A and B are shown apart, each in its own frame.
Chain A
Amino acid sequence: MQHFLTTESLTLDQLTAILDTAESFINADGSSVKKVPLLRGKTIVNLFFEASTRTRSTFELAAKRLSADILTMNIAASATVKGESLLDTLRNLEAMHVDMFVVRHQDSGAAEFLSQHISPGISVINAGDGRHAHPTQAMLDMFTIRRHKGAFDQLKVTIVGDLLHSRVARSQIHALRTLGAKEIRVVAPRTLMPTQLEGLGVDVYDSVESALSGTDVIITLRLQKERMQGALLPSEREYFQLFGLTSERVALAAKDAIVMHPGPINRGVEISSSVADGEQSVILQQVSYGIAVRMAVMSILAGQ
């Protein structure tokens, strides 16, 4: 693998290799290992054109635990504002002899674009491009699911929320399909449901209750406040009433269902505090597994 851009084209073997490698970086208690010298001497640049806290910092930690040198560039407020093109920014950084770029950008296809124009031998990891893909997030979600549920083939997974704008959901759907999940259900107000999503192999629901019934994994998506503009939704209150993940709704799922969220969470908007902090929530584990999974992706791309 030269680049890691999307989960869509990856094979079962490739996905499994990432999960197995991540497993090797985890201690028995679930915390990630301290430091390994796998990427010593390598330089990784975090290229963030869009704000991020958790993704950026877990990439930094992952690189450091692999003994790589990592530099984080928040470009949102610098070069591109001055009119420099995305490609020029990349060329300038390339000249600094970088081995790997971790890219987040607001345009769908940005990581793919950079991978097509980058010098040979340099890898690109997609850390989120527009609404298209966020494959490392999806892989840490798969890792979390596998740790709790074991095999995928009997699993019913329900994704609740703003699928229209969600790169995370798209990457999760592709990964879940390839890993063989039995049923993938999606539910959202119709204004936040992408056209023909069923074409990706999911079952589309209007009722959150039906979508949650008997499910094994619940993934709630973040609802950004700006969605109230543009007539997508009437209010946060009505959204929470219709789609918010409450204890009552979680009770419709399987007894041992887990609750996931890619973060950052909006309490009282898409999820109640009692669920976010409840026994079935694995939200914080997702964050800590994020380090091991990103270590796995980086080390695989580096050929280690």
Chain B
Amino acid sequence: MKIEILNAHICDPLNAIDRVDAIYLADTKILSIGEPPSGWQAEQSIDASGLYCIPGLVDIAARLGNSGQTQQKSISSETHAAVSAGITSLVCMPDSKPVIDSAAQLEYVQQHCHSSSHCHVYVIAALTTGLKGDMLSEMAALKQAGCVGVSNVMHPLANNLVLRRAMEYASGQGLTLHYQAMDSALQANGCINEGLAATRMGLIGIPNAAETAAVGVCLALIEHTGARVHFARLSTQRAVHMLELAHSEGLNVSADVAAHQLFLCDDDIPAFDPNFHLLPPLRSADDLAGLRQAINNPIFSAICSDHQPHCADAKLAPFASTQIGASSFETLLPLTLRLVEQGLLNLQQAIALVTYKPAQMLNIDAGSLTAGSSADLCLFDPKQEWTLQANTMRSRGKHSPFLGQRFKGKVKHTFVSGKLVYSES
């Protein structure tokens, strides 16, 4: 199908395009921006006056199943939530039930996604068998089957020797290790940042050192092994400084941060509200300020949603006993735009962090409007304001620390591979 989108403000950071123009799609690809191809006759024409047109968002950290499960039903509903939020490529974490730690399991997930997903779904596979932290997964087979990286997510590794060997083996296979830095002994069953909020609520705190100690060990092992490591979901400003230093000394490291970590700190947690039970935890006001100041640093290759949908029961318990995480697809773009409104990034920089930069880090064909690339687009109204409410969230999970908040920037249309998969009704 030949589609033209007219009068949109096109913002494509990779190609440094930032102007009102027309964009032409044919079948699954982007044909051109500006002048129509010769002999062009559109089958569908969309007047996008007043809207921005950006590459579809690339979200490098998501879960599609309720409470970590991957089910056909929730693949459809969650990827629909994703495209309604302008996300056209997302990366599934391996900590589903069952764990994605074998080529067979990965192919099973891919088959389900093929039949019921509304967007491109990629998978980061388990680093160790069952995420148990002691035996390496069959990374070569997993890579062959199409995983875009390996990670033990929030599950601890038995010891630093396993980490070293996992790094060596993964880099030998050309796989990036996505490392969530958390020293499990220092974490000590904590469920919230160690600070006044933890003290006030009598909850066990997780010290910043649980993250920085793990980052320090991992950096030492990167120096030793030369492995390619991406530091996932950073939460402390000290860890960012450590990575900046390592990067400036020539180590090949990158990092991402979940969007909520750029707007909330532990002081913002209403007493025992399980919507705020997140991991890594929301840190101190100082860490929040530090992360926000550092977001334009070259070590950051992505802002992600860290989407974790949960059924209502998963959050119906006292704080520490509730499931970790929130449904975050629908706040990823508006929070990223808020960074622009607050003057921390310009629009190109902000969009880059949710489009081509994560795509480049993952080495996937996504995140730009380059002619010939997959026609994955998001059209949004930058001025429209809306309120996040549980009953209008499209994710099956209705938990978010931002419930009731006003947001600016609303997705109007989303294209995946040249197909209009979402239009605001």
Whether a CB of chain B sits under 8 angstroms from the CB of A162 is no
Are A170 and B196 touching (Cβ within 8 A)? Answer: no
Q: Which single member of A108, A170, A196 contacts B319 (CB below 8 Å)?
A: A108
Given the contacts A87-B316, A109-B271, A132 and B199 also touching, CB distance less than 8 Å: no
Contacts of A200 in B (CB 8 A): 196, 199-200
Are A108 and B199 touching (Cβ within 8 A)? Answer: no
Contacts of A197 in B (CB 8 A): 199
Contacts of B135 in A (CB 8 A): none
Min C-beta distance of B320 to chain A, whole Å: 6
Residue among B202, B205, B317 with most chain A CB within 10 A? B202
What is the chain B residue whose CB lies nearest that of A88?
B316
Whether a CB of chain B sits under 8 angstroms from the CB of A194 is yes
Contacts of A170 in B (CB 8 A): 199-200, 202
Are A107 and B195 touching (Cβ within 8 A)? Answer: no
Contacts of B39 in A (CB 8 A): none
In Å, the complex CA distance between A133 and B201 comes to 8
What is the chain A residue whose CB lies nearest that of B207?
A195
Are B203 and A131 touching (Cβ within 8 A)? Answer: yes
Given the contacts A132-B202, A197-B199, A117 and B319 also touching, CB distance less than 8 Å: no
Given the contacts A108-B319, A109-B319, A195 and B194 also touching, CB distance less than 8 Å: yes
Given the contacts A113-B317, A132-B201, A195 and B196 also touching, CB distance less than 8 Å: yes
What is the chain B residue whose CB lies nearest that of A108?
B202
Which residues of A (89-111) have their CB < 8 Å from a CB of B?
A: 105, 107-110
What is the chain B residue whose CB lies nearest that of A164?
B199
Are A196 and B203 touching (Cβ within 8 A)? Answer: no
Given the contacts A109-B271, A112-B271, A195 and B317 also touching, CB distance less than 8 Å: no
Chain B: residues with Cβ within 8 Å of the partner, total of 21
Are B316 and A117 touching (Cβ within 8 A)? Answer: yes
Are B202 and A130 touching (Cβ within 8 A)? Answer: yes
Whether a CB of chain B sits under 8 angstroms from the CB of A38 is no
Chain A: residues with Cβ within 8 Å of the partner, total of 25
Given the contacts A86-B317, A131-B203, A113 and B198 also touching, CB distance less than 8 Å: no
Are B272 and A199 touching (Cβ within 8 A)? Answer: no
Are B201 and A195 touching (Cβ within 8 A)? Answer: no
Q: Which single member of B202, B204, B205 contacts A167 (CB below 8 Å)?
A: B202
Which residues of A (177-214) have their CB < 8 Å from a CB of B?
A: 194-197, 199-200
Whether a CB of chain A sits under 8 angstroms from the CB of B343 is no
Which residues of A (61-88) have their CB < 8 Å from a CB of B?
A: 85-87
Whether a CB of chain B sits under 8 angstroms from the CB of A50 is no
Min C-beta distance of A235 to chain B, whole Å: 21
Min C-beta distance of A262 to chain B, whole Å: 15
In Å, the complex CA distance between A105 and B318 comes to 10
Contacts of A117 in B (CB 8 A): 316
Are A109 and B196 touching (Cβ within 8 A)? Answer: no
Are B201 and A108 touching (Cβ within 8 A)? Answer: yes
Question: Helix, strand, loop or mixed for chain A's interface?
Answer: mixed
Are B316 and A195 touching (Cβ within 8 A)? Answer: no
Given the contacts A112-B271, A131-B203, A132-B202, A196 and B195 also touching, CB distance less than 8 Å: yes
What is the chain B residue whose CB lies nearest that of A167?
B202
Which residues of B (202-259) have their CB < 8 Å from a CB of A?
A: 202-205, 207
In Å, the complex CA distance between A167 and B202 comes to 7
Whether a CB of chain B sits under 8 angstroms from the CB of A129 is yes
Whether a CB of chain B sits under 8 angstroms from the CB of A23 is no
Contacts of A167 in B (CB 8 A): 202
Contacts of B202 in A (CB 8 A): 108, 129-133, 167, 170
In Å, the complex CA distance between A282 and B201 comes to 29
In Å, the complex CA distance between A85 and B318 comes to 11
In Å, the complex CA distance between A207 and B372 comes to 72
Whether a CB of chain B sits under 8 angstroms from the CB of A236 is no
What is the chain A residue whose CB lies nearest that of B313?
A85
Which residues of A (142-188) have their CB < 8 Å from a CB of B?
A: 167, 170
Are A107 and B194 touching (Cβ within 8 A)? Answer: no
Are B199 and A85 touching (Cβ within 8 A)? Answer: no
Q: Which single member of B195, B199, B203, B207 contacts A109 (CB below 8 Å)?
A: B203
Contacts of A107 in B (CB 8 A): 317-321
Are A195 and B195 touching (Cβ within 8 A)? Answer: yes
Contact with B along A116-134 (1 / 0, CB 8 A): 0100000000000111110
Min C-beta distance of A267 to chain B, whole Å: 27
What is the chain A residue whose CB lies nearest that of B271?
A112
Are B318 and A86 touching (Cβ within 8 A)? Answer: yes
Are B317 and A85 touching (Cβ within 8 A)? Answer: yes
Contact with A along B173-204 (1 / 0, CB 8 A): 00000000000000000000011101111111
In Å, the complex CA distance between A105 and B204 comes to 16
What is the chain B residue whose CB lies nearest that of A114?
B318
In Å, the complex CA distance between A110 and B201 comes to 11
Contacts of B272 in A (CB 8 A): 108-109, 112-113
What is the chain A residue whose CB lies nearest that of B205?
A195
In Å, the complex CA distance between A87 and B198 comes to 24
In Å, the complex CA distance between A196 and B320 comes to 20
In Å, the complex CA distance between A199 and B205 comes to 15
In Å, the complex CA distance between A133 and B196 comes to 15
In Å, the complex CA distance between A92 and B331 comes to 38
Given the contacts A108-B272, A112-B272, A132-B201, A199 and B196 also touching, CB distance less than 8 Å: yes
Contact with A along B265-309 (1 / 0, CB 8 A): 000000110000000000000000000000000000000000000
23 A-B pairs, CB-CB below 8 angstroms? A8-B200, A85-B313, A85-B316, A105-B318, A107-B317, A107-B318, A107-B320, A109-B271, A109-B318, A109-B320, A112-B318, A113-B319, A130-B202, A130-B318, A131-B204, A194-B199, A195-B205, A195-B207, A196-B199, A199-B196, A199-B200, A200-B196, A200-B200
6 closest residue pairs by CB, A with B: A131-B202, A132-B202, A109-B272, A107-B318, A199-B196, A108-B202
